Amino acid sequence: MDNTKESNFQYTNPRITKFSYIFTELSDGQWEITMKHKKKVEKLSENEAKVVLDMIICASEDPSPFEFSFSVEANFRWKDFDAATVSSLLSRTAPSLLVGYARPIVAMFTNSSGIMPFNIPMIDFTKESIVDFSEL
């Protein structure tokens, strides 16, 4: 039974282009976590764009016992989608895919530092404004 079909929305191997972390004092590990992100979409051709996701993750204490900062990017290509669908895919689906590449690295570093491993949760990008790809 083989009815698997390749999606018309594909991406290249994601690249983590920046990754930094800082650990200071280790406390009880019961922190409220703050996550901030910014995404950039760059049109490469009619059916291809580069999406860059920048994130900062830290504990809400001052000073924060840890902070991660990273950028991950990939080129996305598609066929047979209207402009509105492409805009939604690049604004919402692409960042969700990209954050998955940093998730195991953040978990490994937190675990290796002697604190409870932190797994980046699923992020709801549907509340974000959509990049109008036709304007790029």
Structure confidence at residue 25 as a pLDDT band (50, 70, 90)? low
pLDDT over threshold 90, residue 24: no
Residue 27 pLDDT = 59
Rounded to whole angstroms, the Cα distance separating 62 from 68 reads: 15
Query: For residue 64, what pLDDT is reported?
Result: 76
Mean pLDDT of 25-34: 69
Domains located in the chain, CATH noted: 10-125 (3.10.420.10)
Confidence band (pLDDT; 50, 70, 90) for 20?
very high
Over residues 45-100, the pLDDT tens digits come to 999 999 999 999 988 777 777 888 999 999 999 999 999 999 999 999 999 999 99
What is the model's pTM?
0.85
φ and ψ of 69, to 5 deg: -135, 130
φ and ψ of 53, to 5 deg = -115, 120
Listed in sequence order, the residues at least 6 apart from 64 whose beta carbon sits closer than 8 Å to its beta carbon are: 24, 58
Strand positions, DSSP E, 1-136: 9-11, 15-23, 33-45, 48-59, 66-78
